[in-house]
Amino acid sequence: MNDETEMRQKLVRMGTLLYTRQLAHGSAGNLSVRLDDGSILITPTNSSLGFLEAERISKLTPDGELISGDRPSKEYFFHLAVYEERPAAQAIVHLHSTYSVAISCLCHEQTDDVLPPLTAYHVMRVGKLPLVRYFRPGDRALADEVRKVSRDNRSMLLANHGPIVSGASIEEAVYAYEELEETAKLYFLLGDRKTSPLRAEEIAEINRAFPN
Ligand code: 13P
The CB of 30 under 6 Å from ligand 1? The reply is yes
Cα(92) to centroid(ligand 1), Å: 13
Distance CA 31, CA 148 (A): 20
Q: Is the beta carbon of 46 within 6 A of some atom in ligand 1? A: yes
The torsion angles phi and psi of 167, rounded to 5 degrees, stand at: -155, 170
CA of residue 152 to ligand 1 center, whole Å = 24
Q: End-to-end distance of the chain based on CA atoms, in angstroms?
A: 19
Residues 138, 75: Cα–Cα separation, whole Å: 5
Q: Contact, 156 vs 132, CB < 8 A?
A: yes
pLDDT in tens, the chain (212 residues): 679 999 999 999 999 999 999 999 999 999 999 999 999 999 999 999 999 999 999 999 999 999 999 999 999 999 999 999 999 999 999 999 999 999 999 999 999 999 999 999 999 999 999 999 999 999 999 999 999 999 999 999 999 999 999 999 999 999 999 999 999 999 999 999 999 999 999 999 999 999 87
Measured from the Cα of 47, ligand 1's closest atom is 2
| C-alpha dist (Å) from residue 6 to 3, 11, 52, 56, 178 | 5, 9, 14, 14, 22
**Fold annotation for 3-209:** L-fuculose-1-phosphate Aldolase (3.40.225)
Q: Which atom of ligand 1 sits closest to the CA of residue 158?
A: 10
Which atom of ligand 1 is closest in space to residue 74's alpha carbon? 3
Ligand 1: distance of its center to the CA of 191 in Å?
Answer: 30
Please give the Cα distance from 101 to 195 (Å, whole number): 22
Report yes or no: 156 and 129 within 8 Å, Cβ to Cβ. yes
Q: Which residues pair with 131 in a beta bridge?
A: 157
Provide DSSP, 120-160: HHHHHHT---PEEPP--TT-HHHHHHHHHHHTT-SEEEETT
pLDDT score recorded for residue 212: 78
Residues designated catalytic: 75, 121
For the chain, the domains span 3-209
Q: Compute how many other C-beta atoms are within 10 angstroms of the C-beta atom of residue 68.
A: 12
**pTM score, whole prediction:** 0.98
Beta strand residue intervals within the chain, DSSP E:
30-34, 40-42, 58-60, 66-68, 91-94, 131-132, 155-158, 162-167
